[in-house]
Structure 1
Amino acid sequence: MRFASAIVAAAVAAIASAQIVYPFAPEGPCVAACTDSVGKALFPLYDDVNANGPFFFASLGYTFNRGSPTTITFMSQAGTCMNTCPMSEQDAYRASYYPKYNWYQTNKPATGLRRA
């Protein structure tokens, strides 16, 4: 019985320490600065970089919870800022939007907060 308990405890520990893998590279420093500055203006704990941070999924929600008032505000302000970015970064952002959106929809927790 002790052995089975040890196995269960090890499995729980492994699941609890599982790392989230966000398989996308930043589009560039200008686009990253836009999303970060707009995100932090709306939500001071905004963090769309640290996939294992406590506010990662909540932060991605500003971009990918389409139709919400928060997303409309975020995307309008970030888009205005991104208009000053190099076209290569803007193109990279547009190309990565739907793959990131699909990843977010598949991986987001039901609460919109980080998975435990």
Structure 2
Amino acid sequence: MKFTTAIVAAAVAAIASAQSAWNFPAEGPCVAACTDAAGKDLFPMYNDVDPTSPFFYASLSYTFERGTPSTIAFMTASGTCMQNCPMTEQTAYRASYPLKLKWYQQNKPTAVRRRRL
């Protein structure tokens, strides 16, 4: 019985992990360059594209921990840069932002939740 429970628990965890994977298409090279440059100015290990990176959630926090000084600085720098990007990329960024924010809020580790930026 314990073995069956362990297998079921492992299967549920695997399904939950697969469902919660970061699976968002890139908005475009210009927007990506803007977020990367703004992120690396604030945090040299910034990486918002590789979910396996140990810095992935910390990097996303610069975008999604609203109202913090780091997020304000990041959004100001990346937003100013994005004004020079093609409108299709800007529109894609605005459309994906709320979906990514929701994903981040549901998946961020507790350590990031408590971190002061």
Give the C-alpha shift of residue 55 in structure 1. Answer: 0.2
Q: Number of residues paired by the alignment?
A: 103
Structure 1 residue identity aligned to 2:21: V
Structure 2: stretches of 5+ with no match in the other structure: none
Note the aligned Cα RMSD (angstroms). 2.1
In the TM superposition, 1:24-63 aligns within 5 A as 24-63=24-63
The answer for the alignment partner of 1:68 in structure 2 is 68
Matched, 1:99 2:116: no
Give the C-alpha shift of residue 42 in structure 1. Answer: 0.6
4+ residue stretches of structure 1 with deviation over 6 A? none
Deviations 1:18-75 (A, max 9, x none): 7872110110000000000110011000000100110000000000000001000000
Structure 2 residue identity aligned to 1:32: A
The answer for the alignment partner of 2:108 in structure 1 is 108
The answer for the alignment partner of 1:88 in structure 2 is 88
Give the C-alpha shift of residue 112 in structure 1. Answer: 1.5
Separation (CA, whole Å) in 2 of partners of 1:37 and 1:77: 9
Over the matched positions of the two proteins, sequence identity in percent amounts to: 58
